[in-house]
Structure 1
Amino acid sequence: MGGRVATHVMDISYTPRRLTRETHFSMTYESEAVIPLEVGFRTLRIGKFIREENDRLLCCELRINDEKREIAMIRMVHYQQKLRQGYDKKDKSRPLAPGDLVLKKVVGTTKNPLWGKVGPNWEGPYRITLVAGNGAYYLEDLDEKVISHPWM
């Protein structure tokens, strides 16, 4: 079977993002990209290209780009707020009390350096023995060995 295989390559920099409604290319380089395919064929954008007019239009585009970035930032903040609201609606937090079992976060100095990235991020379970206040708790392991200082 001797034939040509047609491939389609799509670069994400030409695709507008749903969140900002702008392409990565336009947000980075402050102008829209012309793909190589458009240069070889007479498309609408290439057919109307006038070099002298292009410089003036690019200056106008540069003035507009700050506004585009600001609008994209507003959309992004709005999107993040909606995500947070959805998460907070589902979150059913309750205060921790003595007797509850919890996991303790493994922080930098207590991590075993030989494990690298694949080491555990949590230790436990631990039992809360006393509420110290402001989200801090005194803990003991399941063998009733007390941890000397409170944990948050």
Structure 2
Amino acid sequence: MGSKLRLGKAKGKWAEEIPMVRWSYRTTPRKSTKETPFSLTYGIEAMLPMEVAVNTLRVANQDEESNTQGLRIKLDILEEKREESGVRQSAYKHATERYYNQRVKEKAFKVGEYVLRKNEASRAQPQGKLGPMWEGPYRVTEANRNEAYVLETMEGRPIPRTWNARNLKKYFF
């Protein structure tokens, strides 16, 4: 359950819920790193308070000497674990970026083509619910890098500043 949802359900008792929400956040593995924030900080997985109180197998079979030695080993490899987690996180971000970018259609206009300009970007005409969404047509006079275009009116007057392709759409006569 999400922290906001859980705190919302608690109504007036949200202050008592915060420690439990924070515990669940720290001990839940992240999708991008496949590790919990707790394990990336301390090198080991957290034990539930219930495990200590009930004396589970994990606690009952614990040997103080081997436990201390195991913790030292885990702390030694903690930096390597964090680096692996960082690699997994960057791979996850790259995969997410590739997923969303595959749906993007690039707009490219050629010099001499006619386009409409988004009224929201130029604010040339009053906006509102019933106001026009697009204005124009305009002629593309120059195509710069990064989808920036220089426009002119149909009469040949230049339009000030460059316009990004996301604020333009092709005009068909």
Give the TM-score normalised by structure 2.
0.56
Q: Does 1:133 align with 2:106?
A: no
Q: CA 1:59–1:132 in 2, change beyond 3 Å: closer, same or farther?
A: same
Q: Distance in 2 between matches of 1:16 and 1:147?
A: 53
CA contact (8 A) 2:42 2:75 kept: no
Per-residue CA deviations over 1:26-49 (Å, capped at 9, x if unaligned) read 112333212211121111221123
Q: CA 1:146–1:74 in 2, change beyond 3 Å: closer, same or farther?
A: same
Q: What root-mean-square deviation, in Å, do the aligned CA atoms of Structure 1 and Structure 2 show?
A: 3.4
Aligned pairs for 1:1-152 within 5 A: 11-97=24-110, 98-103=113-118, 125=134, 129=139, 130-134=141-145, 135-139=147-151, 147-152=159-164
Which residues of structure 2 form unaligned runs of 5+? 1-19, 122-132, 165-173
Name the aligned partner's letter for residue 136 of structure 1.
A
Which residues of structure 1 form unaligned runs of 5+? 1-8, 107-123
CA contact (8 A) 2:33 2:89 kept: yes
Q: What is the percentage of aligned positions where both structures have the same residue?
A: 31
Equivalent residues, number: 126
Higher percent of residues as helix:
2
Aligned to 1:116: none
Q: Distance in 1 between matches of 2:58 and 2:119?
A: 59
Give the TM-score normalised by structure 1.
0.62
CA contact (8 A) 2:116 2:134 kept: yes
Q: Distance in 2 between matches of 1:43 and 1:16?
A: 23
Name the aligned partner's letter for residue 85 of structure 1.
R
